[in-house]
Structure 1
């Protein structure tokens, strides 16, 4: 079994910018959450969480795909995390609560 190298996530620069770019992509048309998720090969809830600020990060591959589909350069919408930009702590996912 091969182990994938760990990647630092990309951090979204602005939720407002993401929303604006989704309303008018590089080709002048809008794109839905579902269509953008399909282009980024992720679940639509991830795009929705990025749009409403519940999530601020994506993998590099997802960030690149989102920027490409929206028609902007990667660094217009995302910034690298790691040595100079600390990745924000993502909220824990809902867990089952014992009865």
Structure 2
């Protein structure tokens, strides 16, 4: 198989790669604050879409939620972002209730 992100290389180090369980889709995210989705075909792997978190959060970890409809992106801050894939909307969460000092370690 070709590189997952050969159609849109990251501008920095990729920190997270995840594969959708029901679709042939891969997600990459990294320190360039960008989440990219790719259609996995084993040849070209075209980019479906990318989202730049025009925020102050380099992404250290990104995962699909349990419904596979959102991507949760976190970094070294107390908050995280959720990206709704279908609505193409970004929401900020101010952290996890009860974990005032929570942050993702490198």
- Which TM-score bucket, shorter chain as reference? under 0.3
* Greater fraction of residues in helix: 1
User: TM-score under structure 2 normalisation?
Assistant: 0.25
Between Structure 1 and Structure 2, whose CA radius of gyration is higher?
1
Higher relative contact order (CA 8 A, sep 6+): 1
